[in-house]
Structure 1
Amino acid sequence: MFKILTLNNISPLGLARLPKEKFQVSADTKDPDAILLRSFKMHDMEIPKSLKAVGRAGAGVNNIPVDKLTRMGIPVFNAPGANANAVKELVFAGMLLACRHIGPSWEFVRGLSGSDAEIGKAVEAGKKNYAGYELPGRTLAVIGLGAIGRNVANMGLVLGMKVIGYDPGLTVEGAWQLSAEVKKANSVEEALRVADFVTFHVPLVDSTRHLINAERLKLMKDGVIILNFAREGIVDDAAVSAAIKAGKVYGYVCDFPSNLLKNHERVIALPHLGASTAEAEDNCAIMVTEQVKDFLENGNIRNSVNYPDVVAARETAHRLVVANANVPNMLGLISETLGQAKLNIHDMVNRSRKDHAYTVVDLDSPLTEDVRRKVATIEGVLMARII
């Protein structure tokens, strides 16, 4: 029986993937094997010694102490792409809201008074103040070409836009999912110089903080519209505020309100709605729950943000999984320890990711807790578990 602690409400469709005969799911369980969460901030939380995995029902993991968990040998799973359609739709809604002045014009109408005839006359007189422009022929710059960015880029083409994308980490698989009509930029600056609209779909790390700042704003076209549905901090809000007042930026649409932005002219600040659809919440919960379930039952890793993907079919009933530092001779030491216990390795799969690695070992006979402890005490081993 595996114990699962939920720190936020998780979609019932996701939790339904955890059969009750094998998984105990609760918001107050003690000594959990895994934690499922959405936005709960774990940074000040004491990590249970029993913990084996963390699953974030969403893409971003800024609310999770990933580095700390990595050092403990605990994979952190997320659900990349599960909310891609929801975010894509909101990006284009934001573009249309900004370039067609939907918000201000709605407020104008709500402020009208008098008879229907008087309102009609006021509408005809006032509508010229809210004239906008259309999307076809405009250039959309997409910074970050993961699952969401690719969806946004491809949809921009469907709507008749020119699209340029930048992502230094674009994978071969990701490139296959991106239309060949998307122009590839060699730098952020190259993309920003030509953009009528720019949208960000990157995680918040040191290299992406304030991707839009005062210096880069100077490179951009006059009248650009900036959209940030990724993470707070990717755009320097103060710099964009100043650029709006100077007439450089036409509009700013984001998912991260603040006192500076909430009543700012030409700013549309939404209450973090990017993934707030029933479909996205269901998709994220299903995806991450299945990943955590497979890890607990079989030791397989899919979509971990801190450990490599390792998926191995069970070829025997006896499996050992090991998280370790990515250092020389680690496989040799693990094999030697198993050999000294007269255990024959049926199959072994090892993958590394930067400073850490993960190993799955299928054995022809059972291994004891004593052998597992010996593996766990090898210098550089962070976690060893019998499955």
Structure 2
Amino acid sequence: MRVLVSDKIAKEGIDILKSELKVDVRTDLTPDQLREIIKDYDALVVRSQTKVTKDLIECSNLKVIGRAGVGVDNIDVEAATLKGILVVNAPEGNTIAACEHTFALMFAVARKIPQAVSSLKSGRWERNKFTGVQLSGKTLGVIGLGRIGKEVAKRASSLGMNVVGYDPYIARENVENLNIKLTDLDEVLRTSDFITFHVPLTKATRRMIGEEQFKIMKDGVYIINCARGGIIDEKALYDALVSGKVAGCALDVFEKEPPEDNPLLSLDNVIATPHLGASTAEAQIVVAEEVAKDIIRALKGEIVKNPVNMVSVRPEEYSFILPYIRLAEKMGCLYTQLKNGRIQEVEMIYGGRLANMDVKLVTTAGIKGLLSNILQVPANLINAPIIARDRGIKITEKKIKEDEDAPGTVTMRVTTDKEVGTISGCVFEKDSPRITGIDDYKIDLIPEGYVLITNHKDKPGIVGKVGTILGKNDINIASMQLGRKSYRGDALMALSVDEEIPESVLKEIKAIEDLKDAVFVKL
């Protein structure tokens, strides 16, 4: 597996990658040069300099793209998702660095520190010119209450500030212990003395603050932006600074970087830094290490810690859910090898402890397994839901919470244009996934390797005849499971074997009297 690192990241992250993968560090590539060589790599690691465009993605064979940082606005995530490329980032690594830089700028703009330093170094002593304002007792508006926004709010409270916050995607209970008054955007703008932004740059947030929003704000408000350029309309911000509506502004990010000939930088009440929010030695090491570890996990086929375009698993549930992810994929893979028909609907039914958990990734794994045998282009945990949607497959989840202390169970009920079928499973001790039911038959099958599954009459001699044919062809039986509906009624047999069963041998087995069907599957 080959990895290309196209932006500068900490050596510690590169060392982790090199411990298991072949790594090329090329930080001087032009877009055309990158496009020319990208097809030779399985993974790409970037920071904010490299633009991972739709055009670049479509001509690549990438399996994973890693962003050593929080934002992914330099990556076309939608294009990557459609192609089944996993995107990972490092959302926690620079949280404290960005939070501390926010306060560095807030203190600096409130006390006019950069201007005072410049004046003093020019030989002037102008104490009266640089009277500032204190933070204690002021209202801080925090727009965006993710990891960084929460840390900012927490520290602002300790400084004696009143904190109001706006985030349409966060539940009130997630911030109730942080002394934050959660309200709407207009209320934050109307009541805040200082406003700080901690949102990603999306269609919804691009220029979310413009002329109309500045009109709502208090006269003499202070603006701090350590998030992303483009969130604030820079022309409207300039006008508000010139008019005095905004007393001061501290920026770490700009709509265009570097900000060539940006009129904001000509104003005395603007202080700015060149996108330094994550630029601490500690943060750079952490984000490089985090993304390197996820790149390795992704290329090994393991579940990653920080997916951007795939459902994540809560850290406290990770170890419990992981074997169910493997199980669900095997269940889907088994189903499409056993059954025929165009899939119309898939219902995933969860019981026991699983019913209390976020099982979206388990469901996605089941869909991936179903699609794996019916598509020319392989489905994966990133594009499986999109492929299912485009094929008109309805996907639903159901949770049965009657016995929440029991081990987790999962049932896949699939409706096709020909029939409705089910496969059930659970995970036994030591993370051992098992298929426990196929339609109405109860079995105990380890879902791996080669398996022969037969439907036959429950009568003496049939199992022996199947075994004789396999033995005659030097095919060894590893284990056998039998399930039946009733005595001398219909039965199902699952034979795990050590070798593939040729079509000619399978044809001979199918010819056995009272054997309705035989299917050879690979799991």
Question: Following the alignment from structure 1 to structure 2, what is the Cα–Cα distance between the partners of residues 14 and 380?
Answer: 29
Which structure 2 segments of 5+ residues have no match?
A: 27-36, 341-349, 388-521
SS in 1 for 2:249: strand
Match of 1:195 in 2: 192
Q: Compute the TM-score of the two structures, normalised by the length of structure 1.
A: 0.79
Q: Distance in 2 between matches of 1:314 and 1:247?
A: 56
In the aligned structure 1, how far is the partner of 2:334 from the partner of 2:75? 33
Which of 298, 302, 307 in structure 1 is aligned with 2:305?
Answer: 302
Contact map agreement 2:7 2:46 (CA 8 A) in 1: yes
Contact 2:333 2:373 survives alignment (8 Å): no
Structure-2 separation of matches of 1:340 and 1:151: 52
User: 2:332 touches 2:366 (CA, 8 Å); kept in 1?
Assistant: no
Q: Give the AA of the match of 2:364.
A: Y
Distance 1:211 1:72, change over 3 A: same
Contact 1:319 1:361 (8 Å CA) reproduced: no
Following the alignment from structure 1 to structure 2, what is the Cα–Cα distance between the partners of residues 238 and 291? 40
Aligned residues of 1:35 and 1:53 also touching (Cα < 8 A): yes
Query: What's 2:268 paired with?
Result: 265
Are 2:238 and 1:241 equivalent residues in the alignment? yes
Question: TM-score, normalised to structure 2's length?
Answer: 0.60
For 1:362 and 1:216, locate their aligned partners in 2 and report how far apart those are by CA, in whole Å: 45
CA contact (8 A) 1:154 1:179 kept: no
Distance change (3 Å), C-alpha of 1:338 and 1:319: farther
Q: Which position in structure 2 is the counterpart of 1:115?
A: none
- In 2, are the aligned partners of 1:15 and 1:285 still within 8 Å (CA)? yes
Match of 2:23 in 1: 25
Q: How much identity, in percent, do the aligned residues show?
A: 35
Q: 2: distance between equivalents of 1:169 and 1:38?
A: 26
Counterpart contact for 2:372–2:379, Cα < 8 Å: no
Among 218, 222, 225, the alignment partner of 2:222 is 225
Aligned to 2:90: 79
Deviation track 1:233-277 (CA, whole Å, cap 9, x = no partner) reads 101111111111111100111113532122222111211111111
* Residue 143 of structure 2 is aligned to residue 143 of structure 1: yes
2:434 corresponding residue in structure 1: none
**1:130 matched to which residue of 2?**
130
1:275 to 254, 278, 295: 278
Shift of 1:17: 2.7
Contact 1:334–1:375 at 8 Å: present in 2 too? no
1:48 Cα deviation from its structure 2 partner:
5.2
For 2:471, the equivalent position in structure 1 comes to none
Report the alpha carbon displacement of residue 215 of structure 1 after superposing the two structures with TM. Answer: 0.6
Q: Secondary structure at the match of 2:142?
A: strand
Mapped to 2, the partners of 1:378 and 1:13 lie a distance apart of 36
Deviation track 1:330-379 (CA, whole Å, cap 9, x = no partner) reads x98644224469xxxxxx999659xxx7316999xxxxxxx996344389
Partners of 1:142 and 1:198 within 8 A in 2: yes
State whether residues 200 and 228 of structure 1, in contact with CA within 8 Å, keep that contact through their aligned partners in structure 2: yes
Aligned residue number for residue 205 of structure 1? 202
Confirm or deny that 1:11 pairs with 2:10.
yes
**1: CA distance, partners of 2:21 / 2:187:** 51
Structure ranking higher on relative contact order (CA contacts 8 Å, 6+ apart) = 1
2:45 is the counterpart of 1:36: yes
Q: What is the CA–CA distance in structure 2 between the aligned matches of 1:92 and 1:195, rounded to whole Å?
A: 16
**Cα offset, 1:142, TM superposition:** 0.5
On the 8 A contact 2:337/2:373 being kept in 1, the answer is no
AA paired with 2:23? V
The 8 Å contact of residues 261 and 269 in structure 1, kept in 2 or not, is answered as: no
Q: State whether residues 214 and 240 of structure 2, in contact with CA within 8 Å, keep that contact through their aligned partners in structure 1.
A: yes
Q: Distance in 2 between matches of 1:339 and 1:55?
A: 38
Partner of 2:117: 106
Opposite residue 101 of structure 2, the aligned amino acid is: L
Could you tell me which amino acid in structure 1 is paired with residue 248 of structure 2? Answer: G
What is the RMSD of the two structures over their aligned residues, measured on CA atoms?
3.5
Q: Deviations over 1:87-117 (max 9, x none)?
A: 11111111111111112211211222xxxxx
Measure, in 1, the Cα distance between the counterparts of 2:190 and 2:334.
Answer: 55
Give distance in 1, aligned partners of 2:249 and 2:114: 12
Q: Determine if the alignment matches structure 1 residue 154 to structure 2 residue 154.
A: yes
Which residue is equivalent to 2:77? Answer: 66
Q: What secondary structure does 2:117 align onto?
A: helix
Q: What is the rounded CA distance, in whole Å, between the counterparts of 1:379 and 1:351 in structure 2?
A: 22
Measure, in 2, the Cα distance between the counterparts of 1:148 and 1:53.
Answer: 25
The match for 1:359 among 352, 358, 365 is: 365
- Which structure has the larger Rg over C-alpha atoms? 2
Distance 1:379 1:319, change over 3 A: closer
In 1, Cα distance between the equivalents of 2:60 and 2:373?
A: 19
Aligned partner of residue 256 in structure 1, secondary structure = coil
What secondary structure is seen at the aligned counterpart in 2 of 1:4?
strand
Q: CA offset at residue 9 of structure 1? A: 2.0
Q: Distance in 2 between the 1:149 and 1:67 partners?
A: 26
Q: 1:289 aligns with which of 285, 289, 292?
A: 292
Letter aligned with residue 7 of structure 2: N
Q: Give SS of 1:231's match.
A: coil
Count of matched residue positions in the alignment of Structure 1 and Structure 2: 346
Indicate conservation of the 8 Å contact 1:315/1:362, yes or no.
no
CA distance in 1, matches of 2:57, 2:323: 37
Q: Distance in 2 between matches of 1:284 and 1:24?
A: 20
- Asked if the contact 2:331/2:366 (under 8 Å) is kept, the reply is no
Distance 2:275 2:290 in 1: 21
- With 243-252 and 307-316 compared, the bigger mean Cα shift is at 307-316
